Amino acid sequence: MNGFIYLKNVVSLELDREKCSGCMMCIIVCPHEVFEMKNKKAIIINKDFCMECGACQKNCPDNAISVRSGVGCAAGIINGILRNSEPSCDCGSNKINCC
């Protein structure tokens, strides 16, 4: 997987272990094995693998996770800049290269 790691030390993911109740939802929903259980609570083990999809934050019943989620897509960010809005893969008239 080494060729599939993006830039280092930029990800906005934070976990507050004090709040974690150990339900393991973050481990279930994370597509990149960012979390692991340690002493019945989650810890972040591979922060640079995180793609900021936001699934962990959405599914954490304890509000222990924060991440600035969004699309990691250059075209989406350009769209955001052009429309003065948040990055969006809603490509409007240029519908073709859209997910």
Partner 1 sequence: MTTEYYTKFINGILWKVPKTSTVWSRKDIWSTIKVRWSIGRMNYRIKPGLYAVGNPDSNSEIFVTANFKLSFDHLRRALHEMDAWILVLDTKGINVWCAAGKGTFGPRELTYRIKAHELDKLVNHKRVIVPQLGATGVSAHEVKNSTGFRVIYGPVRAEDIKEFVAAGLKATPEMRKVTFPLIERIKLIPVELAYGKYYLLVVPAIFFILSGLNKNGFSIDLALSAGGEAVIDLLSAYLAGCVITPILLPWIPFRRFSLKGLVISWIMAIPLLYYNFLGNTIFENISWFLIMGALSSFLAMNFTGSTTFTSLSGVRKEMKIALPLQIGATVLGIIGWIISRFI
Q: Which residues bind partner 1 (CB under 8 A)?
A: 1-8, 10-12, 25, 28-33, 49-55, 58-59, 61, 68-78, 87-90, 95-99
How many beta carbons lie within 10 A of that of residue 8, not counting itself? 8
* Exposure letters 52-85 (e unless 16+ CB within 10 A, then b): bbbbbbeebeeebbebebbbebebbbebbeeeee
Report, in Å, the least distance between residue 42 CB and partner 1: 15
Nearer to partner 1, 39 or 96 (CB): 96
Report, in Å, the least distance between residue 31 CB and partner 1: 4
User: Do residues 72 and 52 make contact, with C-beta atoms less than 8 angstroms apart?
Assistant: yes
User: Do residues 71 and 89 make contact, with C-beta atoms less than 8 angstroms apart?
Assistant: yes
Nearer to partner 1, 41 or 88 (CB): 88
Report, in Å, the least distance between residue 84 CB and partner 1: 16
Nearer to partner 1, 4 or 18 (CB): 4
